[in-house]
Amino acid sequence: MLLFCPTCGNILMVEQDTTGHRFTCSTCPYICNIKRKTSTRTFPRLKEVDHVMGGAAAWENVDSTDAECPTCSHKKAYFMQMQTRSADEPMTTFYKCCNQLCGHNWRD
């Protein structure tokens, strides 16, 4: 598939003709008819994103407290505090249910 003019090196334009489509150069008289349909799509591989709070490893050595889970009503939850706003704002407390079947996360 041609993308640049072999005569002058400028980029080729696609235009519709009475017989189909063709490549044309805007600066010289080069014309090349397109005989077959070609299309390819390549999708970039997305970069793996790290979990904002550190993933499962962030919850390994945290303390537990008396807090009721809004999902399963379990009475204990793990917690950690993190500064998510500016320094003059209070810290945000994140909770994770101690019930292994639930594991719901919420914040206060």
Is 25 annotated in a binding site? The answer is yes
Q: Which long-range contacts (CB under 8 A, 24 or more apart) does 10-16 make?
A: none
Reported residue count of the chain is 108
Is 98 annotated in a binding site? The answer is no
Q: What is the distance between the alpha carbons of residues 103 and 97, in angstroms, rounded to a whole number?
A: 5
Strand pairing partners for 79?
63, 95
Is 32 annotated in a binding site? The answer is no
Residue numbers in the known binding site are: 5, 8, 25, 28, 69, 72, 97, 102
Residue numbers in the known binding site for Zn(2+) are: 5, 8, 25, 28, 69, 72, 97, 102
